[in-house]
Amino acid sequence: MTSRPSPLAATRIGLISDTHNLVRPEALRYLDGCDAIIHAGDICNPDVLDALARIAPVTAVRGNNDTGDWAASLPTHATLTVGQVTILVVHDIAELGCEPSDEGIGVVVSGHSHKPSISERDGVLFVNPGSAGPRRFKLPVCAGLLVVEGGRVNASFDSLLA
């Protein structure tokens, strides 16, 4: 007899942003075991996406530092549905372009600021995993995780460096 996974089985989505051409081994270890990965822009080199794709399928958006032919094919916004949760990905939250709660979006993932944050507004979870690339100012080097189970979602982020 074959068992099927529960329709409410948890899905782990790794969140990473602002790598700026740096794929830290700590980031790869953090994302290992994820079912999917979201990169919220400022990738700066397609090799970054190749490294992430060896772990799990990647959804990526173009950031303000993503230029050249390889980056032209990346969207500025991406939407994916996991379980019963719709996730919108955009690099710069200032370029959101919609009211997520009016569009049925449950989670907005963004980057750009290099500041990790998790907040909720009008029933929408806003997550910025911070920057996993070169350290900027005194901001932490971070990545994040979304765990989606049916219509429920939890977000967290962790420092990649001790």
Residue 2 lies in a domain: no
What CATH number does residue 127 fall under?
A: 3.60.21.10
Q: Is residue 1 part of a domain?
A: no
The shares of helix, strand and coil residues in the chain, as percent rounded to the nearest 5, are 15, 35, 50
CB atoms within 10 A of CB 44: 20
- Alpha carbon of 81 to those of 26, 74, 133: distances in Å? 27, 18, 27
Mean of the per-residue pLDDT values of the chain: 93
Q: Which bin fits 49, alpha (ψ -120 to 50), beta or left (φ > 0)? A: alpha
Using DSSP bridges, classify how beta strands 117-121 and 142-149 pair: parallel, antiparallel or unpaired.
unpaired
Domain-located, residue 153: yes
pTM of the model: 0.93
What's the structural domain count of the chain?
Answer: 1
Residue 141 in domain: yes
Interacting residues of 13 by C-beta distance below 8 A, sequence separation 6+: 34, 35, 36, 37, 38, 82, 87, 145, 146, 147, 148
What would the pLDDT profile of 142-157 be if each residue is shown by its tens digit?
999 999 999 999 999 9
In a domain, residue 6? The reply is no
Confidence of residue 130 (pLDDT cuts 50, 70, 90): very high
CA distance 78 to 92: 13
Each residue's pLDDT tens digit, 73-101: 999 999 999 999 999 999 999 999 899 99
